[in-house]
């Protein structure tokens, strides 16, 4: 059994924040892979399902970012998991927007959610570091992570979230390389050779972004999709 934890802050006012990209990732996984409805438990919201042959618990702490470890620790003890069974999806200032890296262990780099998790379960858990870029100065970080993604960012954001969902079954069995490949195929799909038809997957992605009668802006669509 594995537990995927998405970090963020609860409530509609935070739903589109950069700090909530972890919530967005696990919500997409739940939607795409037929997980059970979210329910309140462990000071958060939980959804259960199967990825491949692995049972997976999805967790969104409701404690607010700075106390995320309380929820994670409580859930981990209930399911009798070890830190090695836990994967945390979180925003990463030190990676460019659209970049995703998988890491095991290490420091929290000042991320308050990770800091809290360290305090409750230690550092030996896996992380999916989802790049959001840096505002340029440390004094601007708090306002930056608690502001919504800009309209111009929604394209790569949607690709990253979909890629994380595509690769979730590989991540559940501990194959970080194949997970990363799945994300890369969404963020930078291979281009067809000149004069040849694009692959079926490329057609599907293009069709998925085709215009419709929906009058909402791209951001409104994303915000509505990821509302709790």
Beta bridge mates, 47: 58
Q: How confident is the model at residue 206 (pLDDT cuts 50, 70, 90)?
A: very low
In this prediction, residue 188 carries a pLDDT of: 87
Domains in the chain, number: 1
Q: What value does the mean pLDDT take over residues 152-175?
A: 96
> Which domain does 192 fall in, by range?
2-225
Q: How far apart are CA 219 and CA 15, in angstroms?
A: 11
Judged against a pLDDT cut of 90, whether residue 142 lies above it is answered with yes
CA torsion 15-87-145-29 (nearest 10°) is: -30
| pTM of structure | 0.84
The model's pLDDT over 45-62, given as tens digits with 9 standing for 90+, comes to 999 999 999 999 999 999
CATH number of the structural domain spanning residue 133: 3.40.50.1470
Q: Which strand ranges, in their side-by-side order, compose the sheet holding 86-92?
A: 39-41, 44-51, 54-61, 2-6, 86-92, 126-131, 100-104
Between CA 2 and CA 14, with CA 60 as vertex, the angle to 5 degrees is 150
90 is catalytic: no
DSSP reduced 3-state for 126: strand
């Amino acid at each position: 059994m594995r537990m995927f934890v998405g970090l963020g802050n609860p409530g509609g006012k935070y739903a589109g924040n950069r700090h909530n990209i972890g919530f967005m990732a696990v919500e997409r996984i739940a939607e795409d892979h037929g997980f059970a409805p979210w329910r309140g438990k462990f000071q958060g919201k939980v959804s259960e399902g199967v990825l491949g042959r692995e049972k997976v618990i999805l967790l969104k702490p409701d404690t607010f970012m700075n106390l995320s470890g309380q929820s994670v620790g409580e859930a981990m003890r209930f399911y009798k998991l070890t830190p090695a069974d836990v994967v945390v999806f979180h925003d990463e200032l030190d990676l460019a927007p659209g970049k995703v890296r998988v890491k095991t262990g290490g420091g929290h780099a000042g991320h308050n959610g990770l800091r809290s998790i360290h305090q409750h379960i230690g550092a030996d858990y896996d992380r999916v570091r989802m790049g959001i870029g840096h505002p340029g100065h440390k004094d601007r970080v708090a306002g930056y992570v608690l502001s919504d993604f800009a309209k111009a960012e929604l394209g790569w954001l949607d690709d990253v979230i979909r890629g994380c969902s595509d690769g979730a079954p590989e991540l559940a069995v501990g194959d970080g390389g194949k997970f990363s490949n799945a994300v890369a195929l969404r963020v930078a799909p291979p281009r067809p050779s000149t004069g040849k038809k694009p692959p079926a997957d490329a057609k599907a992605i293009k069709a998925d972004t085709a215009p419709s009668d929906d009058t909402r802006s791209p951001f409104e669509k994303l915000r509505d999709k990821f509302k709790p």
